[in-house]
């Protein structure tokens, strides 16, 4: 140890099982420093954390493509993107795996339609697993299709929707499934907060998102795109970023 460095830990304590480190080990690597972001307001998205990977910063769709090929056809204005109905879902060019995903969305301020026809979009993790986006403020629908539902599998633990037109905040902790050849080694797990309210806590997914059937898993790569659904309603999104989930001192 350098004479001017201070030993902040111990080397005469037991080894923590499953690690190479003593309890309070003074040589265990320090966590990386991350400068936290700032909260969003109705008028303005907050700043992302310093190490976030930015997927949409409000200026353009250069990081996105149409799900079925070609350019993303949604419009960008005033710092947000908005679904252009019938142009199709859009996906990030980037493919990524386990992450903390942050995004904000707003259903149309002018209420139109009901149940699944009101402010419907969706956040498809790895292009396959939907966290529902829906205007559920005073809008009854089937429980496993509520905003924040793992669509067709689990209703959210609460309906935490703000009023239509207001910005709503998703923070999603995603652990993708793991496959070996055709076999499922580990299912996907997701934790979801909507407007700071816990909707799912490490919930095990039954499989990919489907409609009106019981789902299952199909093997796919360990990374995938973020996809936003075109469900024929003009839903807005802003401030989309993620941070990979990984241990910095796993050993
Ligand atoms: Mg949807």
Query: Is 213 found in the same domain as 122?
Result: yes
Range of the domain at 157: 53-244
Query: Is 133 found in the same domain as 84?
Result: yes
Query: Is 69 found in the same domain as 179?
Result: yes
Q: Is 90 helix (H, G, I), strand (E, B) or coil?
A: strand
Instruction: Determine, yes or no, domain membership for 249.
Output: no
- Specify the pLDDT at position 68: 87
Structure tokens at 154: 């689990």
140 vs 214: CA distance, rounded Å = 22
| 4 DSSP assignment | T
- Specify the pLDDT at position 86: 96
Which residue's entry shows tokens 């979801």?
192
132 alpha carbon to ligand 1 midpoint, in Å? Answer: 5
120 alpha carbon to ligand 1 midpoint, in Å? Answer: 5
- Specify the pLDDT at position 32: 93
221 vs 176: CA distance, rounded Å = 10
Q: Report yes or no on whether pTM surpasses 0.85.
A: yes
Query: Is 137 found in the same domain as 24?
Result: no
Phi and psi dihedrals of 118, rounded to 5? -120, 105
Instruction: Determine, yes or no, domain membership for 19.
Output: yes
Confidence band of 251 (pLDDT split at 50, 70, 90): very low
Instruction: Determine, yes or no, domain membership for 41.
Output: no
Query: Is 26 found in the same domain as 123?
Result: no
Confidence band of 108 (pLDDT split at 50, 70, 90): very high
Instruction: Determine, yes or no, domain membership for 250.
Output: no
Mean pLDDT score, 79-107: 98
1 alpha carbon to ligand 1 midpoint, in Å? Answer: 56
Which residue pairs, CB below 8 angstroms and at least 24 apart, start in 63-70?
63/92, 63/93, 63/94, 64/90, 64/91, 64/92, 64/93, 65/90, 65/91, 65/93, 66/90, 66/91, 67/91, 67/127, 67/227
Query: Is 59 found in the same domain as 26?
Result: no
Query: Is 127 found in the same domain as 6?
Result: no
Which residue's entry shows tokens 């409609």?
211
Instruction: Determine, yes or no, domain membership for 42.
Output: no
Query: Is 128 found in the same domain as 72?
Result: yes
Residue 98: C-alpha distances to residues 153, 225, 242, 243 (Å): 20, 12, 10, 9
140 alpha carbon to ligand 1 midpoint, in Å? Answer: 15
Query: Is 238 found in the same domain as 147?
Result: yes
147 alpha carbon to ligand 1 midpoint, in Å? Answer: 8
The model's pLDDT over 210-232, given as tens digits with 9 standing for 90+, comes to 999 999 999 999 999 999 999 99
170 alpha carbon to ligand 1 midpoint, in Å? Answer: 14
Counted domains in the chain: 2
Residue 202: C-alpha distances to residues 49, 112, 192 (Å): 23, 34, 8
| Percentage of the chain lying above the pLDDT 70 cut | 96
Mean pLDDT score, 145-168: 98
Q: Report the mean per-residue pLDDT for the chain.
A: 95
| CATH number of the domain within which 89 lies | 2.60.120.560
The model's pLDDT over 11-51, given as tens digits with 9 standing for 90+, comes to 999 999 999 999 999 999 999 999 999 999 999 999 999 99
Query: Is 176 found in the same domain as 114?
Result: yes
Instruction: Determine, yes or no, domain membership for 76.
Output: yes
112 alpha carbon to ligand 1 midpoint, in Å? Answer: 16
Query: Is 110 found in the same domain as 196?
Result: yes
Whether pLDDT at 2 is above 70? no
Query: Is 7 found in the same domain as 87?
Result: no
- Specify the pLDDT at position 246: 80
- Specify the pLDDT at position 250: 55
């Amino acid at each position: 140890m350098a004479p001017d460095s201070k030993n902040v830990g111990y080397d005469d304590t037991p080894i923590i099982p499953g690690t190479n480190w003593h309890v309070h080990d003074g040589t265990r690597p320090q966590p990386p420093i991350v400068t936290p972001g700032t909260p969003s307001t109705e008028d303005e998205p907050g700043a992302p954390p310093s190490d976030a990977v930015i997927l949409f910063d409000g200026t353009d769709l250069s990081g996105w493509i149409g799900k079925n090929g070609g350019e993303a056809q949604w419009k960008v204005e005033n710092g947000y993107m908005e679904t252009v109905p019938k142009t199709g879902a859009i996906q990030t060019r980037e493919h990524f795996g386990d992450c903390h995903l942050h995004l904000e969305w707003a259903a149309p301020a002018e209420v139109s339609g009901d149940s699944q026809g009101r402010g419907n979009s969706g956040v498809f993790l790895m292009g396959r697993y939907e966290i529902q986006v829906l205007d559920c403020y005073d809008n009854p629908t089937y429980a496993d299709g509520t905003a924040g539902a793992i669509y067709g599998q689990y209703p959210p633990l609460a309906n935490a929707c703000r009023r239509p037109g207001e910005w709503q905040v998703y923070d999603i902790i995603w652990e993708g499934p793991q496959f070996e050849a055709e076999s499922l080694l580990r299912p996907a797990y997701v934790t979801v907060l909507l407007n700071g309210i816990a909707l799912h806590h490490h919930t095990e997914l039954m499989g990919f998102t489907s409609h009106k059937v019981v789902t299952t898993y199909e093997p796919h790569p360990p990374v995938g795109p973020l996809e936003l659904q075109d469900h024929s309603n003009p839903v807005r999104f802003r401030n989309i970023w993620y941070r990979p989930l990984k241990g910095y001192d796993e050993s």
